[in-house]
Structure 1
Amino acid sequence: MNLRALACVLPLAALSAGGAHARTERLALVVANHQGGGDLPELRYAGRDGQRLADVLVDLGGFERADILSVIDGEGGDVMGALDEVERRVARAKQGGDEVIFLFYYSGHAQNGVLRLGQTQLDMQTIKRRLEQSSADVRIAFVDSCGAGAMTREKGGTLAPPFVVAVDEGLSARGQVIITSSSASEVSQESDDIQGSFFTHYLATGLRGDADRNQDGKVTLDEAYAYSYGRTVAATSVTRSGAQHPTYSYDLRGAGDVTLSEPGGADVLIDFPAESQGRYFVVDLDRQLFVAEVDKDAGNASRIALPKGQYAIKKRMDSHMLMTRLSAREKGVFTLDEGAMERVSFADDYAKGTPILSDRIADQVGFALSMGLGAQLVLDPGDDGDLFPGLAYVVIEARGRNLVGERIMTSADVGFGGTRVERDVPGGTLPADVVHVQGGVNVLWTTRLFDDAVLLGGGGRLAAMYWQHTFQDATALPAGVEPRQWYFDFAPGLVGMAGWSFANWGHAEITARSSVMVYTYDTVRPVFPVEALASVWFDF
């Protein structure tokens, strides 16, 4: 029996069996929860950590976005239900002859060997047993929480740097690996500086290429673990809570390579040449997100992989920053030229990269502008529809996010529309042109789902509505009928919306509004405008 080092990797390259190469299905479940119940403090970055790892899996790990399930701020039952769904997908893939890799990730509170999911709890050993019972060929778990080492302690969990696993030659990889962010007795820590947990931050950065020790364009599991272990221990050794030591537990056999990420094949590669040294931060300027950190010594080149976009690279000096912009809209390799970096004061840092993200994109203050089309119908039990006819209109809306509170959006809108109706007049009907103008202010409570791809919101609205009727042939009007008539009123109401993010810079929304106003011209009665809108938003 020959022994070899196991290279476990996330796109989880081909697993071979009997000389035939089966298709490999990749599934992931990302669980994040900011609340731990009781007197545990609210976490700020659990959702963002989950989003960062999911992004890396999609960008570089061969995962499809649709195959990454997520449970954000859910309960224990939600997690178990998601595990059931994963297993159903595993079974379907296995029936089709595919081999399956399943990755489980958790970021949140844990205490005394249980995951704390809001007001519910889920025993770590329950999760471990579900992984062991899964039909997936390879199961990999990353658990980023306090005391997460309780999950690896039971069967030989090891607190140590890089590991080597002996496997039998000629067999494809099968089994599971569990990696945790800390030992059973240690605290896992978040950092405002890196806007996330130390462990997940270094894991994601390593998978983007900084952990690729042999520069073969692939990051294996042992490379990722060694990198995140070393960086996590070093970064936390100077914190108030003390050093945090990632641990692992493995039960893996076979000779198949499982690759976690393949940064060498990414659209955008950023090279840090051998002569560069220091700590570099990379910020996605399109989203103002802190995406990677490279801490290197002179003498060895380093490379990280990113999707296409607009980036800033900055290096912190004692009294200032060195910064440069990188436009990477096209596929290519970009080399950092530190001599060309701009000297910038800390106050003039144009890429803060520190929006405080939780499970939503948006605990930061932000703004958005939209244009859309709407349709309005006024429910008026005292009229046959000619006073307030149904019509289409164009709407422009400006919105502020978190200006008055977390998850609260405030906006102002204006709409213009018109139609033509046959107005009832004494002796018959006459055609009239109808112009409708409205403006409103809205206050919405919002939440985001599915890795921030879906935005839901609801709240209140106060609108000012104006209608004007102009008869086309004033000479045909009976005596006493004005050729131009108008009506104005305020209309309080409700609004609900759902949005879908289709790009870093924007999203689409559908909105429903309902309101009430009191008609008082010749009689007093309530009327009820209802509206539906579709709009495209540009996010800033």
Structure 2
Amino acid sequence: MIRWLGWIAISLWLLVGGIAHAEPLRIVVAVGHGTGAAGEARLKYPQGDANRVARLFQELGGTTKEHTILLFDPTAEQLYAAFGKAQAMARTRRPDEVSFVFYFSGHGDRDALHLGSSPVPSSEIRRRAFEVPAALRVIVTDACRTTDSLRAKGMSAEAPFAIKLDDGVGARGLVWLHASGDGEAAQESDQLGSALFTHYWTSGLRGAADRNGDGLVSLSESYEYAYSQTLLRSARSAGVVQRPEAQFELAELTPVTLTRPSASSRIALPRDADTHYLVYATGSRSVVAEAYGDLQKSVELAVAPGRYLVHRRAGGKGSATEIVLARRESRQLTPADFHEVAEERLARKGGELVLRPNEVDVGIGLSYGQFRAPGYGARLGFFHNEGGLGFGARLGAFRGQSQSNTYDLGLLGIDVRALVEYRRRFGRFTVRGGAGPVGALLSQSRKRLDAARLEQAGYATSDDKSAVAFGGTVFAGARLRLGGVFYTELGLSLDVLGARLDAASTTSAPDGGTRVRPLASGHADLAAGVTF
């Protein structure tokens, strides 16, 4: 019996090991190169686009970091070394278990990709791709082309809908997706923060191209979507038509699934027609994904967990909403979730748009310094800030108590501050700092420590004084967003004020009189607030 159990255990181990080994391997090489040959202007977005493609395949395309090679402004030798590394990875598995994706964003022409002053022939890219022992190789080049030199190498160029690779496991051979056709320029968009074709291809891979709603995006779906949207956007914006092109030599027209958006966090758009959506990472001008609404189904866009700003344009009007997605969370949006925003603000701000720029907070804190006795206080503040420079005001009240060699000292005060600030957001955290003038109304009470003895002798033992103080302040704060419209903040400030209150606050002047002596005090406070 034990012997049979041993054989069963060994058989199960071999079976599980075989299944685990048969898991498909996808290798991705993503390259961004901003410089080209002499006379070619430096491109703005190749590195960001390469990084975007690499992250997307890690999130949705079954690729791991270990099987992703990301290159920024490489030399030809470094690019060839990356192909060699991909070959070594692929040799650890059977070719029918391996797919290889090569992405390039940069300058190019009909014969080569431009890596600075070093052109890499397209024929060399193709040769090295075929040296990677994989069943399927997908090459995507977002670069300009003047003439199609690859037709002479046995590859056929077709319109987008000619690639009919139905849903399934994979095809055998090579597919080359070009961002532009013969003689056409591959365009960049400052509004999108990306090359045009790459933006729509990655948006499609995040779910905008999922026509049948099965939660998968195939190679053909992603290309058809990128083709139609690139063609439409280029004609509308630049007036220069950009027509992507696909070339392929495939032994088997079997299915190719590039991404699985249903396995990630997702934004489900409202069911509506003629409505345009842009998804930004909050605080960024780069568009994460773009799609149009569909009356028949809710279009879902796969994104990494995080905070996003979704722009909506319909009927000539703009609106936006901000959402936070947890890991694998799906959020269904409705038209009621969006707040109306002027079109020009949407276009100007992008993901830096602040939907609730106003805020009110209350806080309590401690103070210490030359001018204020050690004590405590409370404040009420209002600020208006749209993501960078902002302004606001604070009203505060404080009380302090201290003791000198002669007196018990008490201080009461009310202050008003007009503040200018600058802030930066880092996910849920915001760091801010600023400065401004301060005015305060002060009341000081003093009582002699030996009051009992002096009262018996008939002397005055206490007095009260009041004064108006003026000066300035600098402050800094670190804020944590709690979710929704609420936040909490830890703040520090340093005040320098002057007032004619007592001997400690004045000094002798050359003319024999007195003058105000600037005195400093520091404050730390904890506040809670709401945005609107």
Interval of TM-score (by shorter of Structure 1 and Structure 2): 0.5 to 0.7
State the partner residue of 2:159.
160
Q: How does 1:180-259 map to 2 (within 5 A)?
A: 180-240=178-238, 242-254=240-252, 256-259=254-257
Q: 1:347 to 1:172 in 2, by over 3 A?
A: closer
Residue 256 of structure 1 and its aligned partner are, at CA, apart by: 4.8
Q: Could you say what secondary structure the match of 2:133 adopts? A: coil
State the partner residue of 2:263.
265
Aligned length: 334
Q: Does 2:310 correspond to 1:313? A: yes
Does structure 2 conserve the Cα–Cα contact (< 8 Å) formed by 1:115 and 1:122? yes
Superposed CA deviations along residues 363-401 of structure 1, whole A, max 9, x for unmatched, are xxxxxxxxxxxxxxxxxxxxxxxxxxxxxxxxxxxxxxx
Residue 351 of structure 1 and its aligned partner are, at CA, apart by: 9.4
Residue 249 of structure 1 and its aligned partner are, at CA, apart by: 1.5
Identity %: 28
Residue 185 of structure 1 and its aligned partner are, at CA, apart by: 1.3
Superposed CA deviations along residues 393-429 of structure 1, whole A, max 9, x for unmatched, are xxxxxxxxxx9xxxxxxxxxxxxxxxxxxxxxxxxxx
Does structure 1 conserve the Cα–Cα contact (< 8 Å) formed by 2:170 and 2:257? no
Superposed CA deviations along residues 414-461 of structure 1, whole A, max 9, x for unmatched, are xxxxxxxxxxxxxxxxxxxxxxxxxxxxxxxxxxxxxxxxxxxxxxxx
Q: 1:196 to 1:303 in 2, by over 3 A?
A: same
State the partner residue of 2:53.
53
The 2-side partners of 1:263 and 1:20 are apart by 23
Q: Could you say what secondary structure the match of 2:246 adopts? A: strand
Does structure 2 conserve the Cα–Cα contact (< 8 Å) formed by 1:312 and 1:323? yes
Residue 321 of structure 1 and its aligned partner are, at CA, apart by: 3.1
Q: Could you say what secondary structure the match of 2:160 adopts? A: coil
Residue 153 of structure 1 and its aligned partner are, at CA, apart by: 2.9
Residue 145 of structure 1 and its aligned partner are, at CA, apart by: 0.3
Residue 352 of structure 1 and its aligned partner are, at CA, apart by: 3.3
Larger RCO, structure (CA 8 Å, separation 6 or more): 1
Q: 1:172 to 1:265 in 2, by over 3 A?
A: closer
Q: 1:130 to 1:247 in 2, by over 3 A?
A: same
- Give the one of 278, 293, 309 matched to 1:296: 293
Q: Could you say what secondary structure the match of 1:162 adopts? A: helix
Does structure 1 conserve the Cα–Cα contact (< 8 Å) formed by 2:157 and 2:248? no
Does structure 2 conserve the Cα–Cα contact (< 8 Å) formed by 1:276 and 1:338? no
The 2-side partners of 1:90 and 1:189 are apart by 33
The 2-side partners of 1:124 and 1:79 are apart by 13
Does structure 1 conserve the Cα–Cα contact (< 8 Å) formed by 2:110 and 2:149? no
Residue 217 of structure 1 and its aligned partner are, at CA, apart by: 0.6
The 1-side partners of 2:254 and 2:310 are apart by 37
Q: Does 2:113 correspond to 1:107? A: no
Superposed CA deviations along residues 242-275 of structure 1, whole A, max 9, x for unmatched, are 2111111112233653210011121x22112323
Q: Could you say what secondary structure the match of 1:238 adopts? A: helix
The 1-side partners of 2:297 and 2:84 are apart by 45
State the partner residue of 2:143.
145
Residue 147 of structure 1 and its aligned partner are, at CA, apart by: 0.4
Q: 1:116 to 1:27 in 2, by over 3 A?
A: same
RMSD: 3.0
State the partner residue of 1:70.
70
Does structure 1 conserve the Cα–Cα contact (< 8 Å) formed by 2:275 and 2:314? no
The 2-side partners of 1:171 and 1:215 are apart by 18
Superposed CA deviations along residues 504-524 of structure 1, whole A, max 9, x for unmatched, are xxxxxxxxxxxxxxxxxxxxx
Does structure 2 conserve the Cα–Cα contact (< 8 Å) formed by 1:29 and 1:105? yes
Q: Which amino acid aligns with 2:50?
A: G
State the partner residue of 2:28.
28
Residue 26 of structure 1 and its aligned partner are, at CA, apart by: 1.1
Residue 235 of structure 1 and its aligned partner are, at CA, apart by: 0.9
Q: Could you say what secondary structure the match of 2:292 adopts? A: strand
The 2-side partners of 1:159 and 1:351 are apart by 38
Q: Does 2:337 correspond to 1:340? A: yes
Q: Which amino acid aligns with 1:214?
A: N
Q: Which amino acid aligns with 2:261?
A: P
Q: Does 2:301 correspond to 1:275? A: no
Residue 111 of structure 1 and its aligned partner are, at CA, apart by: 2.1
The 1-side partners of 2:92 and 2:40 are apart by 40
More helix by share: 2
Structure 1 spans left out of the alignment, 5+ residues: 1-18, 356-402, 404-540
Q: Computing the radius of gyration over CA atoms, which structure comes out larger, 1 or 2?
A: 2
State the partner residue of 1:44.
44
Q: Which amino acid aligns with 1:252?
A: L
Q: Could you say what secondary structure the match of 1:237 adopts? A: helix
The 1-side partners of 2:202 and 2:82 are apart by 23
Residue 133 of structure 1 and its aligned partner are, at CA, apart by: 3.0
Q: 1:347 to 1:233 in 2, by over 3 A?
A: closer
The 2-side partners of 1:148 and 1:50 are apart by 23
Does structure 1 conserve the Cα–Cα contact (< 8 Å) formed by 2:101 and 2:139? yes
Q: 1:74 to 1:149 in 2, by over 3 A?
A: same
TM-score (norm 2): 0.58
Q: 1:223 to 1:33 in 2, by over 3 A?
A: same
Q: Which amino acid aligns with 1:304?
A: L
Does structure 2 conserve the Cα–Cα contact (< 8 Å) formed by 1:188 and 1:244? yes
Residue 173 of structure 1 and its aligned partner are, at CA, apart by: 3.0
Does structure 2 conserve the Cα–Cα contact (< 8 Å) formed by 1:187 and 1:241? no
Q: Which amino acid aligns with 1:60?
A: L
Does structure 1 conserve the Cα–Cα contact (< 8 Å) formed by 2:165 and 2:255? no
Does structure 2 conserve the Cα–Cα contact (< 8 Å) formed by 1:280 and 1:316? yes
